[in-house]
Amino acid sequence: MSETADAGRHRLFFALWPDEATRRGIAKLARAACERPVPTANLHMTLLFLGMQDDAALACFREAAGRVRAAPFDLTLDRLGGFARKRIRWLGCSAPPAALGKLVQALAEAVKVCGFEAEKRPFVPHITLSRKAKNPLGGEPGEVLSWTVREFVLAESEPTPDGVRYRVLDRWKL
Ligand code: 2AM
């Protein structure tokens, strides 16, 4: 697609964005668990995928996110998993806290005013560690990471010649 065609269009998602120390920990674990880990800067947990949207929708999502009230929580990243069909290897939680599900629910509810209906598939909390993985299977990571989550973000996915890059557009405290 040309730049002109892309103008005013954004591939958007709400996500949890790891702080630097957590990011380094996840990256280390990804290097140990995967042959071709995703770039460290790309590590995140998607909460709600919004897809391709225009500027007006982006403004609406921003306002909606500002109205979300949800509690902070801790994530224990203690489980490797895989989406075999998508050949994704990921890191997740064996026992996701209820507050995480509540945050996803609150976001899905909030963006309804923007005309966005979240997909009905159950939410599988995961941080993609590797794509085109040879071995997209589960297991236990060598180390358990604890992530204190105090905010969520709205991010944009941008294709580049070197692969996809993510840009945080806005952040909200929990
Ligand atoms: P993935 O890592 O499991 O591929 C940006 O693309 C983020 O949105 C990624 O975390 C990606 O998840 C997620 N994503 C992309 N397409 C999606 C879809 N159709 N449904 C849900 N999440 C999606």
Q: Active-site residue among 126, 131, 141, 153?
A: 126
The topology (CATH level 3) of 9-173 is: Cyclic Phosphodiesterase; Chain: A, (3.90.1140)
Does 21 or 136 have the greater pLDDT score? 21
Residue 6: pLDDT band (50, 70, 90) is low
Statement: residue 4 has pLDDT above 90: no
Q: What's the CA-to-centroid distance between 49 and ligand 1, angstroms?
A: 6
Which of the residues 23, 44, 89, 131 is marked catalytic? 44
Q: Which long-range contacts (CB under 8 A, 24 or more apart) does 122-126 make?
A: 123/47, 124/81, 124/92, 125/45, 125/75, 125/92, 125/93, 125/96, 125/100, 126/45, 126/46, 126/81, 126/88, 126/90, 126/91, 126/92
Query: Does the annotation mark 126 as catalytic?
Result: yes
Tokens of residue 115, six digits: 């005309």
Q: Specify the pTM.
A: 0.94
Q: Is the pLDDT of residue 1 over 50?
A: no
The CB of 76 under 6 Å from ligand 1? The reply is no
User: Measured from the CB, is residue 135 less than 6 Å from ligand 1?
Assistant: no
Q: Is 130's C-beta closer than 6 angstroms to any atom of ligand 1?
A: no
